[in-house]
Structure 1
Amino acid sequence: MGDVLGAWEPASLAAVRDWMAPVGAPWWIAGGYAIELAVGTPFRAHGDVDVLLLRTDQLAAQRALPDWEWWAADPPGTLRPWEIGETLPADVHDVWCRPGPDRPWALQFMLDESEGGQWVSRRDPRIRRPVAAIGRTGPDGLPYLAPEIQLFYKAKGLRPKDEADFAAALPVLDSPQRRWLRESLALTHPGHVWIDRLEGDWPRRSRSSGGVPTN
């Protein structure tokens, strides 16, 4: 899709923070950058920038960037314009956006579900957590998705970059984070190859070395 409709030029995280400042609703850096923020140092290239929003806040993002061009990824992956003020159906989880039609794609929004103050995984509604507990705070107050949640989403694809992210993040996951990910994978992806690697209380990298705060 990207070759047909234009190239990606991932924005800097500082630019994302500035663009998202007027949203007035929770949001989190997601994808590979969320893992990188948890690890505390760059370790691979990124093709785009993902931002997680709760589905209930989708129009807040549109209002914050009123001059941008928005495209929704209708299953199974057809891009179509997202009209201003349109509430996307429940089966649409990805939105591409850019500052204008002649500009590269800058952000990909991922829409997740929520219910009664709980984040609800779009992969399995049994996987839940209080909305206030799904994020972490990085440098300069940048919010990002907790690494164990991001790895849970990455576990389905097992692309080389997902394996790289898992290997990089594993040393900074504390025992509760590893347990949550292990139990979530066992529930949704029984027999997943990461489950055995999450067993045990492995030594955890200190925060000064790029770790993440505990749950």
Structure 2
Amino acid sequence: MSADVLGRWVPDRPEDVAEVFAEADFPWWIAGGYAIELAVGRELRPHGDLDVLVLRRDQALVRDLLACWHLYVADPPGQGELRPWCPGEVLQSPLHDIWCRRTPEAPWSMQLMLDEAEGTQWVSRRAAEIRLPIDRLGRMSEAGIPYLAPEVQLFYKAKATRDKDEIDFVAVLPLLDAPARVWLADAIKVMAPGHPWIRRLLPVSRM
């Protein structure tokens, strides 16, 4: 989506989001490039937006928490069109992308992403066979900010890898343990079997 058409972005920082979500009684995680930075513990590059992942089943709680914000859903997804997310409206799949700003005149500062869940399992909205226990979906920073597990965030970045995604991959790869590498490689194989990250994640014996 073009910022020229839909308005400018001045993304919040993760600590700003943590203040907004301080009273949340549902799980949430910083996602996107900021999640990778929270994992590695340092800044890697500039950011054009800030993503927050929540589960679709918690959307009413999110909507209530952000009742004073101006919230717009990308409908249809990825087509450069936004419409208001009305109070009480239940967003069904494939709608998952919500732009947030504090007032009509303010820049966009946060992007909510709705993901699927079944019971105690997170389910990828891209392929239902890609799953993970919800209690393994996130990590906690030293400052107490929840963020998406690096292997899950890299899975999302693998769909259409850009230069900034390669920066994130290189920075966080040394921090991935063997189970995380295997899970990520297997997940990427479902969506992009020939992706170059697969070879860099797995030992030759697993190829």
CA distance in 2, matches of 1:200, 1:5: 44
Give the match's secondary structure for 1:21.
coil
Percent sequence identity over aligned pairs: 54
Q: Which one of the candidate residues 186, 190, 193 is aligned to 1:187?
A: 190
Matched, 1:103 2:106: yes
**Residue in structure 2 matched with residue 39 of structure 1 by the alignment:** 40
Correspondence for 1:204? none
Counterpart of 1:60 in structure 2 is 61
What amino acid is aligned across from residue 54 of structure 2 in structure 1? L
Deviation sequence 1:35-62 (CA, Å, 0-9, x none): 1111111111111110000001112111
Which amino acid in the other structure matches residue 174 of structure 1?
Answer: D
Displaced runs of 4 or more, over 3 A? none
1:114 corresponds to 2:117: yes
Q: Find 2:180's aligned residue among 170, 177, 180.
A: 177
1:14 is matched with which residue?
15
Aligned partner of residue 101 in structure 1, secondary structure = coil
> Whole-Å Cα distance in 2 between the matches of residues 2 and 71 of structure 1?
14
Match of 1:143 among 141, 146, 150: 146
In structure 1, what is the Cα distance between the partners aligned to 2:53 and 2:6? Answer: 23
Alpha-carbon distance in 1 for matches of 2:163, 2:94: 26
Query: Does the 8 Å CA contact 2:56/2:116 hold for their aligned counterparts?
Result: yes
Alpha-carbon distance between aligned partners in 2 of 1:92 and 1:22, rounded to the nearest angstrom:
25
Instruction: Report if the CA contact (8 A) 2:98-2:112 is conserved.
Output: yes
TM-score (norm 1): 0.90
RMSD: 1.3
- Compute the TM-score of the two structures, normalised by the length of structure 2: 0.93
- Tell me which amino acid in the other structure corresponds to 1:20: F
AA aligned to 2:167 is A
What is the aligned partner in structure 2 of residue 85 from structure 1? 88
Q: Deviations over 1:123-145 (max 9, x none)?
A: 11000111111000002210000
Does the CA-based 8 Å contact 2:159-2:191 persist in structure 1?
Answer: no
Q: How far is the alpha carbon of 1:160 from its aligned partner?
A: 1.2
Distance (Å, rounded) in 2 between the aligned partners of 1:134 and 1:102: 35
Unmatched 5+ residue regions in structure 1?
202-215
Deviation at 1:152, TM superposition (A): 0.3
Corresponding residue for residue 29 of structure 1:
30
Q: CA deviation at 1:163?
A: 1.2
Identify the residue that residue 206 of structure 1 maps to in structure 2. none
Q: How many correspondences in the alignment?
A: 201
Contact 1:23-1:63 within 8 A present in 2 as well:
no
Structure 2 residue identity aligned to 1:152: F
Distance (Å, rounded) in 2 between the aligned partners of 1:185 and 1:65: 34
Q: Gaps (5+ residues) in structure 2?
A: none
**Cα distance in 2 for residues equivalent to 1:162 and 1:196:** 16
> Distance in 1 between the 2:141 and 2:59 partners?
23
